[in-house]
Amino acid sequence: MTDAHAHHPPKLEIRIIPVTPLQQNTSMIWSTETMEGVFVDPGGEVDRLMAVAKDHGVKIVAVWLTHGHLDHAGAATAVSERTGCPIIGPHKDDQWLLDEIEAQGAKYGIRDGKNVKPDRYLREGDVLELAGNKFHVVHTPGHTPGHVVIYSKEGHLAFVGDVLFRGSIGRTDFPRGNHQQLIDSIVQKLWPLGSEMRFVPGHGPLSTFGQERQDNPYVADHVV
């Protein structure tokens, strides 16, 4: 006898919430089975984020960070304080940025940012879980040294932070940025995940790796 439910796709929902004056994409992903969810890159506006979680009946069980910039990590500590959840990521090579969030905040008009001490750093090959759904981690330095990308194979969805955008790539003119390293991260770590992989960038609209390989002026196949 076949169990019709044995191979059902992951029952995950996603909601993208632009926050901060930099319009950073905070994602809330949650399981519709357990109603447990995570915030990926909660950059600011903690009251709004918690209201969105409450509206959807989602219990936040973790914060996942792609990198240490304040527009991505600024509200991580506040979310953790309110929910008791752990902060996971980024790679430890971004701790120096997480230590600077409060000092940097004034420059960008993000005054509610707090410094972050993650409960767990992420490394290449790590696997995260949300209600039985697996998410994999690749280390993608270049924009920042400790940047990671978190993706779901089954869901064909990647959270790429500021590595890659629709038609563009991350800035590398910040301290410890490295342009060639960023290109290498994209071509060697992201492209092998498959052209059909959709991605949520840190800013702006969603796209797929295949689309960027076709026409992204920085990393299209005919350019690199």
Q: Does 202 bind Zn ion (CB under 5 A)?
A: yes
> Which tokens in the block code for residue 11?
């029952």
Is the omega angle on the peptide bond into residue 205 within 30 degrees of 0, that is, cis?
A: no
Q: Does 162 bind Zn ion (CB under 5 A)?
A: yes
Least distance between Zn ion and beta carbon 144 (Å): 6
The stretch near Zn ion (CB under 5 A) out of 52-60, 89-97, 115-123, 198-206 is 198-206
Lookup result for tokens 């910039």: 69
Q: How far is CA 81 from the centre of its chain?
A: 20
Least distance between Zn ion and beta carbon 98 (Å): 12
Beta strands in 22-179 (DSSP E): 24-31, 36-40, 59-64, 87-88, 127-130, 133-139, 148-152, 157-161, 164-165, 168-169
C-alpha 219/C-alpha 215 separation (Å) is 8
H helical segments located in the chain: 46-55, 70-73, 76-83, 95-98, 101-108, 179-184, 209-215
User: Between residue 58 and residue 87, which ones bind Zn ion under the rule CB under 5 A?
Assistant: 69, 71
Q: Does 45 bind Zn ion (CB under 5 A)?
A: no
The stretch near Zn ion (CB under 5 A) out of 93-101, 112-120, 152-160, 200-208 is 200-208
Q: Does 42 bind Zn ion (CB under 5 A)?
A: no
CB burial of 54-66 (b: ≥16 within 10 Å; e: otherwise) equals: eeeebebbbbbbb
Least distance between Zn ion and beta carbon 154 (Å): 27
Contact partners, residue 22, CB within 8 Å, separation at least 6: 43, 71, 108, 110, 203
Q: Which residues pair with 15 in a beta bridge?
A: 28
Least distance between Zn ion and beta carbon 164 (Å): 12
Q: Does 91 bind Zn ion (CB under 5 A)?
A: no
Least distance between Zn ion and beta carbon 84 (Å): 27
The stretch near Zn ion (CB under 5 A) out of 10-18, 118-126, 180-188, 197-205 is 197-205
The stretch near Zn ion (CB under 5 A) out of 113-121, 151-159, 179-187, 194-202 is 194-202
Q: Does 118 bind Zn ion (CB under 5 A)?
A: no
Size of the site for Zn ion (CB under 5 A): 4
Indicate the residue among 29 and 70 with the shorter CB distance to Zn ion: 70
Contact 192, 151 (CB under 8 A): no
Q: Does 93 bind Zn ion (CB under 5 A)?
A: no
Q: Which residues are near Zn ion by CB under 5 A?
A: 69, 71, 162, 202
